[in-house]
């Protein structure tokens, strides 16, 4: 979902690497050494998640996501007055349920197709069909644990790839590898990636939404024929984020408005029009996630999913954990350098810092969620940018040693906590 143009670059940089990144933006994608290293890190992250899933057991939450997700895709007769047997999901977004239920529904359809190819006397049911209710084929489904959890791992891998892509466009290979490595060896990311939940999808959607909006603003400096694909991508990003969590979409929409106004310059009069059309398209997508049922869709506006306040509890819990000691140290060093070194205070660094600060202190008042997790990719982008600046100074060797020590420590801590994550 991250835009592929010069989405994160300001036309008013004060940093000396503008020429290098401009040249990078003209390169076509190829599987070079940088891409191979990034792919290796993502494979390691995938392996961590698969190991954890292999040591998990199905929980009541898993059954709830499986049942209600399948109901959304297979359209059974829900309880009178409710969208699914989980209720109207007025606070809990529909996207996680659909993501969890889709592989099970797909496997069921494959079983039905195979069953129709058998002779009537050899079919799974003597009646000759499994098309009755949602649950007639449930005993034939296999690998349910992996089918339920793996889609969320793939979204986390997708976000990791987007984090590397954005950071590399902004800061070069060294900053991108630091951001990606800290992400891949973050125990909290692994913990949320290996179970059905809307928070990992909101984290994925919000990060893509913000940098897609920046890409749209830059595209507005060029010919209009280049606007439409990016506006369509912005609409899709906003809609999927809203389907995951309404508050994440609200935060992303507000950030998009501010950033696009700042970057659009002579085209600022078009910003509000673009965002209104994107919001209308996003609402249509959320309506589709509710199977175009108006009564259930109305709870998006009345259920309280977007109500919020501010708290530091999530921030204190994350940075107070010994599992995240390397990210904590890297954050403190980055903040000191950003505040004390002028060359680090430019658009590409400051935007992810501001996003991480604002999003991390949000607190939903009607539903249980983890906005501090949504802020994590922005924080890692900021860390990668500041360290990339430091690695271009005369203290390069010192910062290489610090970076290497942080990564080794983070990797060892993460690998040692996988057993606890699996519980």
Q: How far apart are CA 326 and CA 404, in angstroms?
A: 11
Same domain, 193 and 110: no
Confidence of residue 123 (pLDDT cuts 50, 70, 90): low
Residue closest to 285 by CA, chosen among 253, 248, 245, 237: 237
Query: What is the pairing mode between strands 308-310 and 362-364?
Result: antiparallel
Give the C-alpha separation, 204 to 20, whole Å: 28
Please state the domain count of the chain: 2
Output the CA–CA distances (angstroms, integers) from residue 128 to 104, 113, 133, 139, 287, in the order listed.
21, 12, 14, 16, 36
Selection from 408, 187, 200 nearest residue 318 by Cα: 187
Which tens digit of pLDDT belongs to each residue from 350-389?
999 999 999 999 999 888 899 999 999 999 999 999 999 9
Is 12 a member of any domain?
A: no
Residue 5 in domain: no
Question: Do 48 and 100 belong together in one domain?
Answer: no
151 and 140 in a common domain: no
Domain that holds residue 125: 60-145
Q: Are residues 220 and 125 in the same domain?
A: no
Q: Is residue 95, in this structure, part of any structural domain at all?
A: yes
Q: Give the pLDDT band (50/70/90) at residue 97.
A: very high
And the tokens for 17?
């690497």
Residue 139: pLDDT band by 50, 70, 90 thresholds?
low
Q: Are 185 and 399 in contact (CB under 8 A)?
A: no
Would 418 be classed as within a structural domain? yes
For residue 50, tell me if it sits in a domain: yes
Higher pLDDT, 403 or 127: 403
**36 lies in a domain?**
no
Same domain, 366 and 322: yes
Cα–Cα distance between 213 and 219 in angstroms, integer?
10
Specify whether 397 is located in the same domain as 304.
Answer: yes
Query: Is 34 a member of any domain?
Result: no
Residues 227 and 240 in one domain: yes
Specify whether 211 is located in the same domain as 348.
yes
Domain end, chosen from 92, 126, 145, is at 145
Kindly state whether residues 84 and 117 are assigned to the same domain: yes
Helices 371-390 & 144-171 angle (0-180, nearest 10): 40
Same-domain status, 106 and 227 = no
Question: How large is the greatest C-alpha to C-alpha distance in the chain, in angstroms?
Answer: 79
Q: What percent of the chain has pLDDT over 90?
A: 63
Q: How far is CA 70 from CA 109, 132, 134, 237, 319, in A?
A: 12, 14, 7, 24, 37
pLDDT in tens, 191-236: 999 999 999 999 999 999 999 999 999 999 888 888 899 999 999 9
Domain C-terminal end among 80, 113, 145: 145
Classify residue 32: in a domain, yes or no: no
pLDDT of residue 118: 72
DSSP 10: -
Q: Are 350 and 262 found together in one domain?
A: yes
Q: Is the pLDDT of residue 87 over 80?
A: no
Give kind and range of the element (H or E) at residue 309: strand 308-310
The whole-number pLDDT of residue 115 equals: 73
Residues 320 and 417 in one domain: yes
Domain end marker among 98, 122, 145: 145
**pLDDT score of 129 more than 50:** no
Torsion (CA) 278, 255, 162, 412 in degrees, nearest 10: -150
Per-residue model confidence as pLDDT tens digits over 302-332: 778 888 999 999 999 999 999 999 999 999 9
């Amino acid at each position: 979902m991250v835009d592929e143009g010069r989405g994160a670059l300001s036309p008013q940089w004060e940093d000396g690497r503008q020429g290098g990144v401009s040249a990078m933006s003209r390169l076509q994608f190829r599987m070079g050494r940088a891409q191979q290293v990034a792919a290796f890190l993502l494979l390691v992250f995938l392996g961590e998640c698969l190991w954890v899933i292999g040591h998990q057991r199905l929980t009541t939450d898993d059954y709830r996501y499986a049942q209600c997700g399948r109901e959304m895709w297979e359209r059974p007769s829900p309880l009178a007055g409710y969208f699914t047997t989980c209720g109207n999901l007025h606070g809990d977004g529909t996207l996680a349920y659909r993501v969890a239920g889709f592989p099970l529904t797909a496997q069921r359809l494959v079983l039905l197709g195979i069953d129709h190819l058998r002779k009537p006397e050899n079919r799974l049911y003597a009646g000759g069909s499994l098309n009755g209710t949602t649950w007639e084929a449930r005993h034939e489904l296999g690998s349910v644990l992996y089918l339920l959890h793996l889609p969320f791992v793939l979204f986390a891998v997708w976000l990791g790839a987007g984090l590397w892509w954005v950071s590399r466009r902004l800061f070069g290979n060294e900053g991108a590898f630091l951001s990606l490595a800290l992400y891949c060896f973050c125990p909290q990311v692994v913990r949320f990636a290996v179970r059905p939940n809307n928070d990992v999808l909101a984290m994925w959607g919000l990060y893509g939404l913000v940098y897609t909006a920046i890409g749209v603003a830059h595209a507005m400096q060029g010919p209009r024929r280049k606007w439409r694909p990016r506006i369509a991508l912005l609409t899709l990003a906003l809609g999927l984020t809203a389907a995951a969590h309404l508050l994440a979409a609200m935060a992303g929409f507000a950030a998009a408005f501010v950033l696009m106004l700042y970057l659009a310059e002579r085209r600022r009069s078009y910003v509000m029009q673009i965002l209104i059309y994107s919001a209308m398209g996003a609402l249509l997508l959320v309506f589709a996630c509710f199977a175009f049922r108006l009564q259930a869709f109305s709870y998006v506006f009345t259920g309280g999913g977007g109500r919020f306040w501010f708290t530091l509890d999530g921030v204190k819990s994350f940075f107070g954990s010994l599992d995240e000691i390397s990210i904590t140290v890297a954050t403190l060093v980055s903040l000191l350098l950003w505040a004390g070194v002028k060359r680090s205070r430019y658009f590409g660094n400051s935007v992810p810092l501001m996003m991480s600060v604002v999003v991390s202190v949000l607190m939903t008042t009607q539903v249980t969620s983890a906005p501090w997790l949504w802020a994590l990719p922005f924080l890692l982008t900021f860390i990668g940018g500041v360290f990339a600046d430091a690695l271009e100074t005369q203290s390069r060797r010192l910062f290489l040693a610090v970076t290497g020590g942080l990564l080794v420590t983070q990797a060892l801590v993460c690998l040692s906590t996988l057993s606890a994550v699996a519980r």
